[in-house]
Amino acid sequence: MSPMAALGTAGGAMAVVVVAGVANPHAYASGDDRETRGAEVLHELVPSPDGPGCAAAVGVRGSVVREAGRGKADLTTGRAITSKTVFDMASNSKQFTADAVLLLAGRHQLALNEPLSDYLDNPPAWARDVTPGDLMRHTSGIPDHQELLEAKGIELTDPAGQEEAIAAILDSQPQASPGEGFSCSNSHYVLLAHVVERVTGKPFPTFIQQEFFSPLDLRMVLSPAVDVPGKAKSYDEKDGSCTPDSSPWKRYGDGSVPTAPGALVRWAGHYGTGRIGGTELLAGVTDGAVSVGDALRPRGIEQGRYGAGILPLPDAANRLLGIWTK
């Protein structure tokens, strides 16, 4: 039922997942020129096998049918990227935070329309008007914690964790009224991770490991600012020169899940099976999606909507195309 593709790049993480009907899923595993075309795409994305590169996976009904990689995972050692290379998913990790909140909502342990102040000690006044639903769909108006921390003199190269990020967020003021419009802010998902911890009494990394990664036997772990085995180095390219690009920041909820593209494809398959959270979980991801305006026009998407860690896009057949983005 679901052909899916996931792509990871060594310069930062990116993933694409497609959920749609397919008449002959076996065609994605063999036949015609798909393998050749797939190789051509990798060559277009990574012209030189000696620079930072990417890995890709294609899946059908949650099963990986093709994996490939090109380029170097580590320019210093020359380690090559393979289909098993792990990449930092960056903001693609937000889907796990959103699903954790939806899972708890489905269990009636929280409500998406409750005040955020219910989950905070000494909350600011504005937290009474913001809800987990606002946070999940980026409509609270809260500024991004990176800007807030940098305003306090904390740079990306300085150590900073969840406590510092939350303190900076709660000390700020919203830039717009809740529900006024879409504005992507990492602060939203840092706060949602805190909400999950407050409701469950468990560290957020432990909760998603127990509820998502372990039950689905996925090679995933939430590990901010930690080099997991097999992980590709991130690089910043400028004027043809690549320099390592990493940060010791240890906040989570908005990122910090490293994985290989094949594991991401298998994760996407659970939406079709309902194994985690039932079919209501996918409904929660897409229901109430808000317009992102023209924010995605540079990517060729004229009318995007943001649900809960995913952008649901109806195609001509009214099927669901979901794109997870940075």
Tokens for 71, please give them. Answer: 């380029």
Q: Where are the domains of the chain?
A: 3-93+220-323, 94-208
DSSP string, 107-163: TTS--TTS-GGGGSSS--GGGGT--HHHHHTT-S-PPPHHHHHHHTT--TTS--BHH
Which CATH superfamily, name and number, covers 94-208?
DD-peptidase/beta-lactamase superfamily (3.40.710.10)
pTM of the model: 0.86
Q: Give pLDDT tens digits for 111-167.
A: 999 999 999 999 999 999 999 999 999 999 999 999 999 999 988 888 888 999 999
Q: Nearest CA to 74 among 86, 89, 90, 91?
A: 86
CA gap 192, 207 in Å, rounded: 13
Task: Tell me the CA distances in angstroms from 225 to 162, 247, 249, one per residue in order.
Answer: 12, 7, 6
**Residue 285 CA from chain centroid, whole number:** 13
For the chain, residues with pLDDT lower than 50 are: 1-5, 7-9, 11-29, 316-326
- Positive or negative CA dihedral for 174, 180, 181, 182? positive
Q: Nearest CA to 231 among 207, 270, 257, 251?
A: 257
Predicted confidence at residue 326, as pLDDT, reads 38
To the nearest 10 degrees (0 to 180), the angle between helices 279-286 and 94-106 is 120
CA gap 321, 326 in Å, rounded: 16
CA gap 233, 254 in Å, rounded: 20
Predicted confidence at residue 124, as pLDDT, reads 97
